[in-house]
Structure 1
Amino acid sequence: MGIVQRQGLRNTIISYLGLALGFVSTTLVLPRFLEPQQLGLTTTLNSVATLFAQVAAVGFASVAIRFFPYFRNRENGHHGFLPFLLGVPLLGFAVVLALYLLGRPVLLGVYEHDATLLKTYYLWGAVFALFVLLYSLLDAYLKALYHTAFSSFLQDILLRLLILAGALAFAGGWLTFHGYVLWYVGVNGLLVLLLTGYLLRIGELHWRPQRAVLAVRPVRELLGVGAFTLLGSLAGSVIMYLDTIMVGAQVSLAAAGIYGIAFNISTALAIPARSLNKIAFPLLADYWKEQNIAGMADFYRRTTRLNTLIGCFLTLGIGLNLEFIYSLMRADYAQGTVVVLLLLGSRLFDGITGVNGLILVTSPRYRFDLLFNVSLSVLTILLNLLLIPKLGMVGAAVAAVAAQISINLARTWFVWRSFGMQPFTRQIPLLLAITAAAGVAGWLVPALGSPFVTMLLRSGVLTAVYGGLVLVSGVAPEAQALLQSLQQRLKKS
């Protein structure tokens, strides 16, 4: 088994363990021990640090992966690639840091309700950003070297365990909240040290700068690709982080904490789509290479039907059992119930519209994907500015739904208009009707004295009605095939 296969297998295992650990940690454990304002502070620090680091990096993490093959030469230290990879973003960090420090009165003024609390950790936000920046660059360097499993373990497993340990120490009285925040920031620095030590162990820590690095590829080309990548990554980060920042600024840090937990609950709906996209990306690239438009169109429709089948079931499962989910946390977090429902709707529509983004980004017209992502970011910001002052954190969720639906409709139309492909078949309306019927059946189950017992009963009714209608109607051939396979195995056993 080659290094790519070994690393890929390890990454897959680590990824799924990390998803499970992340859900338990950020959705079930931290909200039990931290108040909304406290969780809102750490969430805001994380969001600010991530955006800060991405701007400072000027897209060089992607540059490392794309251009490293031209520099690869272990004997002479890869022509000084590592110092160059770190040097340019560190210059960017110095510039952004100056703006961050000069803008301190303005930024703290935006958080008028929590300025005193944020003021204490304002400089720590810059330290946090430095750790995030260095980690992302070293991680990209390791990816270029085909060493990805260790950094995935650090990010997906160790970091979450350390944050969880800090929360437990805070709950047990061994750390004050101030100590917990410093722990939260510090463990990200520990990851940078561990990555550095790993590079030293595998003999790839080449610190010595070389003039030769400037001659391998034109610096203007590297900066140009980095700038283009920066726009794309910032667009994605705006969607992931800016709503939390804006809720914290325009409402309160407590509202940001509640919104962050609601966002985390809704991410469970995105896990199947992410897994499917990992398979879809290389397949779509092959379809384009072979110019197999008919095969791609069929794949587009089948994946849309599968996303709809799984997404509708998970949406009902989460939505009908929010009382149980929130019973595991502090009571204050239940204020995010409406936010969860709106964000679930946004993610469900994203799944129903299929893999239009992947089709576009792997196509000859891939540059338009950046246009759609930037448009989504701008629309999200504008709607947040309009709706959060009127509706609070619910306004941010409404903005996310409106922006996501608008851009996905536009992107779906663009793919259909450009390539003659659209993802909808007659099974989609039928699946939505089955979803409505199963949802009503689950909703009619009365709440019992125990949220856990209520959850079990509602989930059982939901599964029976939804699964039964799907199988009887034949709306999803994939479900029929799975059932037949299980029946054959049972007969053999």
Structure 2
Amino acid sequence: MGVVINQSIKNTIITYLGFGLGAINTLFLFTRFLSDEYFGLITYILSTANILMPLMAFGVNNTIIKFYSTFRTRQSQNTFLTLILFLPLVIIIPFGTIGYFAFDAISTWIANDNALVKEYVWLIYISAVIFAYFEVFYSWAKVQMQSVFGNFMKEVFHRLATMFLLFLLYLEVITVDELILLIVIMYVIRTCIMMVYAFSVKRPTLKFTKLAKLSDILKYTTLIIVAGSVANIILEIDKFMIGFYNILENVAYYSVAIYIASVVGVPSRAMHQITNPLTAKYLNERDKVSLKELYQKSSLNLFIISGFIYLLIVLNINELYKLIPEQFGSGILVVFLIGLAKLFDNLLGNNNSILFNSDYYRIVLIQGIFLAIISVLLNIYFIPHYGLNGAAYATFISVFLYNIIKVSFVYRKFGILPFSENTLKVSILIFISTMAFYFWDFSFYPIMNIGLKSLIIGLVYGGICYYFNLSEEITKLLNKILKRT
């Protein structure tokens, strides 16, 4: 776990820096510098592009991680990487052609008679292609065990650039229309930088020779499109559906709540940058002992860290919402439900990596398709009846069912579970902490309340985890920090 802990710590710091910048953008700048409708429009464009991204990438961002370690010679690696570079064009070019000739019909359907959305539909396709190739280049670097710079570009760069653009809007240097266009251009620049870095780590040498396992690679990449689409549909369909029902302002309110709750998932995002290629390596080498150890340790460590973050959020949520415009306060229940869903995701450790890098991914895809359909149907039912909360209900139910199926499947096929005795102890600790601190607030200014309450929660939660040694890795890390101080 040495390389995992080392890069995970760096990735966690970078990811939280990015989320800190994103929090400033989402909670304070977007909500004050933009109308709710335009805020919702930007969120709608990017969320829809994220739904399309796995399709545009043709699944190769996952394919490179699964298969790269199976090629031993330099020539076979170069041939494989050449295939990876050009394969997404198989989808991108035909879809772009269809979109060009059928633009009016497609934009009318996506906009659903919303004139504001219709003007920017073309940016959804551009953004999806940009996102796709960014993930390809990022995976290119990750298989060389270099994930830190890519994580910086993924989490920090675009948020810092967006902050700069928002201040230009506030100073009336640019218009709202120019802001939307410049945000997309910024993502283009990000992808170009990622490409240069990836190629500096592993210089591409174009080889168009016959490739072994080509049939297996094409089968996997075709099916993994569905896997990525399923995951993104479950995560992003709620924002798309809210916008589809012509309530762009509600997309803005919902996105703020989602952003707050998504902080719970940051440790998972950071750790998976390095556990994903390691998981693929253990599976390819059939090293079940290392796989089980990685599965359980990643689960426990993520659960402890994300559990603490979940407590900080839900126990301070009322004070936090006092700091942003009042109309955004309708998303408090969304924060609770989506936060729980993210916590459950973390509890599964590197479960996704095991599934999508194993030989059983086909069966999981079928289950995922079924759940994606359920997610869409749940959103269709709940959103008209319960608005923002309805979208949260649909997402929570979908994520809960999906995770139950995934952890059960890994247990049936590999005979391993991510849980341990300490998992139960951490669950009890999170529950008791919630009950003890939720109704306890100070009577100071909200920022002071949040800071003081968070400090107390951190001392109690961290102290208990340290005293009972609930995680060897976290205890060792704390010992190093304490010795340095």
TM range (shorter): 0.7 to 0.9
Counterpart position of 1:171: 170
**Which letter does structure 2 place at the counterpart of 1:55?**
L
* Shift in Å, 1:409: 1.8
Task: Give the paired residue count.
Answer: 476
* Shift in Å, 1:402: 1.1
Q: Provide closer, same or farther for how the CA distance between residues 71 and 88 of structure 1 changes in structure 2, counting only shifts above 3 A.
A: farther
Contact (CA 8 Å) 2:142, 2:273: kept in 1 or not?
no
2-side partners of 1:455 and 1:59: how far apart? Answer: 42
TM-score calculated relative to the size of structure 1: 0.78
Q: Does 1:162 align with 2:161?
A: yes
Counterpart position of 1:186: 185
Contact (CA 8 Å) 2:301, 2:471: kept in 1 or not?
no
Q: 2:94 aligns with which of 92, 95, 99?
A: 92
* Shift in Å, 1:348: 1.4
Q: Provide closer, same or farther for how the CA distance between residues 440 and 310 of structure 1 changes in structure 2, counting only shifts above 3 A.
A: same
Counterpart position of 2:46: 46
* Shift in Å, 1:20: 4.3
2-side partners of 1:133 and 1:486: how far apart? Answer: 39
**Which letter does structure 2 place at the counterpart of 1:238?**
I
Q: Does 1:238 align with 2:233?
A: yes
Matches within 5 A, 1:132-143: 132=131, 135=134
Matches within 5 A, 1:322-361: 322-361=317-356
Counterpart position of 1:399: 394
3-state secondary structure, aligned to 1:476: coil
**Which letter does structure 2 place at the counterpart of 1:30?**
F
Contact (CA 8 Å) 1:439, 1:462: kept in 2 or not?
no
TM-score calculated relative to the size of structure 2: 0.80
- Higher mean displacement: 36-45 or 449-458: 449-458
Q: Which runs of 5+ in 1 are unaligned?
A: 1-6
- Higher mean displacement: 352-361 or 215-224: 215-224
Q: Does 1:273 align with 2:275?
A: no
* Shift in Å, 1:401: 1.4
* Shift in Å, 1:149: 7.5
**Which letter does structure 1 place at the counterpart of 2:309?**
L
3-state secondary structure, aligned to 1:259: helix
* Shift in Å, 1:245: 0.4
Identical residues among aligned pairs (%): 23
Contact (CA 8 Å) 1:287, 1:295: kept in 2 or not?
yes
**Which letter does structure 2 place at the counterpart of 1:418?**
K
**Which letter does structure 2 place at the counterpart of 1:188?**
Y
Counterpart position of 1:31: 31
3-state secondary structure, aligned to 2:394: helix
* Shift in Å, 1:81: 6.2
* Shift in Å, 1:180: 1.5
Q: 1:103 aligns with which of 103, 106, 109?
A: 106
Counterpart position of 2:124: 125
1-side partners of 2:36 and 2:441: how far apart? Answer: 30
**Which letter does structure 1 place at the counterpart of 2:105?**
L
Counterpart position of 1:489: 483
Contact (CA 8 Å) 2:62, 2:139: kept in 1 or not?
yes
Counterpart position of 1:55: 55
2-side partners of 1:334 and 1:262: how far apart? Answer: 9
2-side partners of 1:369 and 1:460: how far apart? Answer: 42
Q: Provide closer, same or farther for how the CA distance between residues 92 and 29 of structure 1 changes in structure 2, counting only shifts above 3 A.
A: same
1-side partners of 2:426 and 2:368: how far apart? Answer: 29
**Which letter does structure 2 place at the counterpart of 1:36?**
D
**Which letter does structure 2 place at the counterpart of 1:242?**
I
Q: Superposition RMSD on alpha carbons, in Å? A: 4.4
**Which letter does structure 1 place at the counterpart of 2:93?**
L
Q: Does 1:254 align with 2:227?
A: no
Matches within 5 A, 1:416-431: 416-431=411-426
* Shift in Å, 1:203: 12
Contact (CA 8 Å) 2:302, 2:347: kept in 1 or not?
yes
Give CA deviations for 1:95-128 in whole Å, capped at 9, x if unaligned: 451455433333322xx5xx02112223343444
Q: Provide closer, same or farther for how the CA distance between residues 392 and 80 of structure 1 changes in structure 2, counting only shifts above 3 A.
A: closer
**Which letter does structure 1 place at the counterpart of 2:306?**
G
* Higher alpha-carbon Rg: 1
Q: Provide closer, same or farther for how the CA distance between residues 71 and 105 of structure 1 changes in structure 2, counting only shifts above 3 A.
A: farther
**Which letter does structure 2 place at the counterpart of 1:344?**
G
Contact (CA 8 Å) 1:35, 1:330: kept in 2 or not?
no
2-side partners of 1:323 and 1:367: how far apart? Answer: 43
2-side partners of 1:340 and 1:235: how far apart? Answer: 22
2-side partners of 1:280 and 1:382: how far apart? Answer: 33
Counterpart position of 1:226: 221
2-side partners of 1:218 and 1:141: how far apart? Answer: 19
Q: Provide closer, same or farther for how the CA distance between residues 387 and 315 of structure 1 changes in structure 2, counting only shifts above 3 A.
A: same
Q: Provide closer, same or farther for how the CA distance between residues 101 and 133 of structure 1 changes in structure 2, counting only shifts above 3 A.
A: farther
2-side partners of 1:91 and 1:467: how far apart? Answer: 52
**Which letter does structure 2 place at the counterpart of 1:407?**
Y
Q: Provide closer, same or farther for how the CA distance between residues 475 and 375 of structure 1 changes in structure 2, counting only shifts above 3 A.
A: farther
3-state secondary structure, aligned to 2:407: helix
Matches within 5 A, 1:72-87: 84-85=86-87, 87=89
* Shift in Å, 1:386: 1.9
1-side partners of 2:15 and 2:417: how far apart? Answer: 31
Contact (CA 8 Å) 1:30, 1:164: kept in 2 or not?
no
Contact (CA 8 Å) 1:342, 1:397: kept in 2 or not?
yes
Q: Which runs of 5+ in 2 are unaligned?
A: 1-6
Q: Provide closer, same or farther for how the CA distance between residues 456 and 277 of structure 1 changes in structure 2, counting only shifts above 3 A.
A: same
3-state secondary structure, aligned to 2:174: coil
2-side partners of 1:444 and 1:477: how far apart? Answer: 29
